[in-house]
Amino acid sequence: MTRNAFMDCVSSGADNEMNDMVTVLVVYDSKTGNTEKMAEAVSEGVASVSGVTVVKHKLGEKFSMKEFGDSSGIIIGSPTIYSGVTPEMRHLLESLDDMRKSKQINLRGKVGAGFGSYGWSGEALERITGALKILGLDVVSKALRVVENPGPQDLEKCRQLGKDVAEKAAKKSSKK
């Protein structure tokens, strides 16, 4: 997917107003379905926390970049492809960084985490965590890595990751 095609899938408009509630945004890419299974479990974990809403998007769906700024927490997922995130996820992370640099978006202090599956080495997950830190997010833990198809224990770890981010986001929001 080219950068222009990627940007056609997202908008910078105010499609979703999330300012008045605690919302955790889960954005992921998946090529074989493994990371998608993880995203579902992460989202279940977020939704299990009272007073927190989960918004989940798979790359390729149209959504507003404004949702990043409006969310209290952001969880990013990608499989590892050739030692990195997918090209679509790379475009998203680069776009967020460009928006940060031009002061179009401020993610400083939001709660963040990363997750993903891999078949060989899993370097993409450290890249997600690094990108989230550069964007100013308070990353709650090391990225959750799963080799290939997530099993029941892996999915439980995904639910726990979602719950941890949601609880921390809710706690930070209550202090405002």
Domain boundaries of the chain, sorted by first residue:
3-169
The model's pTM is 0.87
d(CA 150, CA 143): 15
Whose CA is closest to 128, among 140, 166, 7?
140
pLDDT tops 60 at residue 64: yes
* pLDDT tens per residue, range 65-76: 999 999 999 999
Residue 37 has pLDDT above 70, yes or no: yes
pLDDT at 176: 61
Query: What six digits make up the tokens of 66?
Result: 């404004």
157 CA to centre of own chain: 16
Cβ atoms of residues 106 and 100 within 8 Å: yes
Give the per-residue pLDDT at 142.
80
CATH code assigned to 3-169: 3.40.50.360
**Is 2 strand, coil or helix?**
coil
Query: Rounded CA gap, 14 and 115, in Å?
Result: 27
Contact 76, 89 (CB under 8 A): yes
Whether 31 and 117 have beta carbons less than 8 Å apart is answered as no
State how far the Cα of 60 lies from the Cα of 72, in Å rounded to an integer: 23
What pLDDT score was predicted for residue 17?
41
Looking up tokens 């993880």 gives 38
